[in-house]
Structure 1
Amino acid sequence: MQKIATYVDQLRAIPQPPPTPGSNLPLSGWIGSPLGHAFRDFAMTQASFSFGPFASQRAFYDWRVSRFREIGNRHQPTAARIAQISQTMPCTHPIVFTHGDINRRNVLVRVHGNGPDDIEVTAILDWEQAGWRPIYWESFKWLFEDGSTPGWAEFGTTQIGAQYEAAVALEFELQSISGYIPS
């Protein structure tokens, strides 16, 4: 897991390229696919459609929250909480490149022996959800995909998502409002 954290740091250090010409996105700070196009993220929908790109974190959050308004329309306390979440979602996180689906089934390892130095990460698979997201997104997805595995969840919180717990908690609260339970 320490090696994977090193890879996450390397991904986060990749500079964001300018968007595709004619896309109406700013030169930096946009959220989208690796090249600035629409993207898929199965934490937001299990349907196989793409959404975005978004010119800013605020545009991304406004879109995210708008998906929950139908639920809020049926229950006033939920509508009030959705509005409160919308106001508190941070828009100051750096936008970084993220894999978006690091979990145990997408990490291939080779074991050479019984010691901790005898394990080698040979590949990280499944880049379908990769792209430019707020820096906490990898931690959110780490926990979303495999948050019930002891050790894995703690590592995702402390090593991948250190200091981003509040943003991750807001994302999970939106998930709980929708009733969507990850498979």
Structure 2
Amino acid sequence: MAGFLSKAISEQKARTRPDADEGNGSYMVPTSMACPAAGCPFPCDTGRNGRFLCSFHTGVQSQYWPLVTEILQRYWAVWQMAIIHYQCFNDLEAATEVIHQINADPVMRAAGIEMLSEAEMKAMYGRGSGHFPLDIISTMIHREIEVGIAKKRERDAGKKQTRPSAAERVRSLCQRIGHRAAPMAEPV
């Protein structure tokens, strides 16, 4: 179920619009543009400084893009199911089935999150969940990206730190207390 949406997008990069009145009566309308981060499954939706990225790569330094892409690839199937759920607003049974599929996904099970079905939401609150699965999954992705980047920065900072030598520690201590460290006198 998860692969049909990406296949449809990749096979149809542009479609003709016959009602336009230019030359031969049609022109090309772009329907999707892939995120430039290598391997990112999401389309571009945010532009900044002349560069278009998906909303998850926007604002992230390019050195962390592989980490972000890895997280996005794990969530791609769940994201597509959430989009299908959002599009099933008129079909209660289909929306409920998609919620069951989302809950059965290993990513959601590992996170310990179980979403309510459309029928349960309508019984409890009088309305369905609508865009909530998209919002929840988006929040989960952003949280995992932030945590991943923080951990990577911490690991990288730990690698860069070097321990000062004994002489450097003594010099630093002397500078802090205002004592001038003079070279030792040569034995006579």
TM-score, with structure 1 as normaliser: 0.27
Q: Whose RCO is larger (CA < 8 A, sep 6+)? A: 1
For the pair shown, which has the larger CA radius of gyration, 1 or 2? 2
Greater helix content: 2
